[in-house]
Every structure is written in structure tokens, then in C-alpha cells.
Amino acid sequence: MFEAFRLIPALQAIFHSEIEFREDSFAELNAAQREAYERKVATPDEPIYRVLPLEPTVIERQGNEKITVELTIATQSERQLLLDAVRFIYRASDQMPEESTSFEQRLAFLRQRLPPIVVGEPEEDLSRGR
């Protein structure tokens, strides 16, 4: 359970998005993306990656309009937290059959067993029941 506290932000992101992050869910920025990131944000002190499952869809426009594409970025440490959180979800739901249980089913199983703060759901207002 102590590991869950370290992983709370990543677990909340996973329970919200229901994405099973894997190594191939991340890609290093290309030179143009890295240059734009450094110009607009800062020079990162650790490797940064695009989060592929969260990247928005680009819509083509007619004419000479420029299109701005926003990327979802994760630092190396954020990336590792997401990957560790996925491993935690599998370990915490290990009594479920591995081959026949989807990731979504594991999340549903754990939503009933983990505290609301871990799964990113607001705690029920206890004063309403009185």
C-alpha cells in the first residue's frame, strides 16, 4: 500500500484515462519538437517523451492557416511512474485470471478496493447521510 502513495498521481491518471501504459506508449521528441519545447518551456533536466495514447488528433484545415499541434509530454520520471503504476495494478489484482482479464476489468476491480484518493474519485460527503 505504501507504494500506492508514491504512485497516486500516476494511478489517478490511469484510472481517469483507462490507458494501460507500456514502453511503446512513449516516444522521444524529434529535433523540431525538442527545440519548440525548449523555446516555449525550458531546457529539460531529464529526458522528455511524447505520450502517444494521449496525443490529440490533428485536424487538417483548408488554405494557408498554420496548425498548432499540442503534445502531451512526460518527463523520464513521470514516464517511469506511469509504467510502475501499471505494474502495481497488475500486482494488486493478481487474484484475477491473467489471460482472461482485461485491463479495464482490473481497474473496475481495484476501484472497489482502493481508497478514493488513489483512484482519483472524490470521497463521498459523509454529512449527507445524517
What does each of the 130 residues of the chain score in pLDDT, given as a tens digit?
A: 667 688 999 999 999 999 999 999 999 988 888 888 888 888 999 999 999 998 665 555 555 655 556 678 899 999 999 999 999 999 999 888 777 789 999 999 999 998 898 888 755 443 334 3
Cβ of 74: how many Cβ atoms within 10 Å? 21
Q: Quick check: pTM over 0.75?
A: yes
pLDDT for 65: 59
Any domain includes 106: yes
Any domain includes 125: no
Any domain includes 121: no
Any domain includes 67: yes
Dihedral sign computed on CA atoms, order 16, 101, 87, 51: negative
Q: CA 26, CA 44: separation in Å to the nearest integer?
A: 17
Provide the number of structural domains found in the chain.
1
Any domain includes 126: no
CB 26 within 8 A of CB 51: yes
Any domain includes 49: yes
Helix (H, G, I), strand (E, B) or coil at 101: coil
Any domain includes 127: no
Any domain includes 53: yes
- Name the residue range of residue 49's domain: 2-116
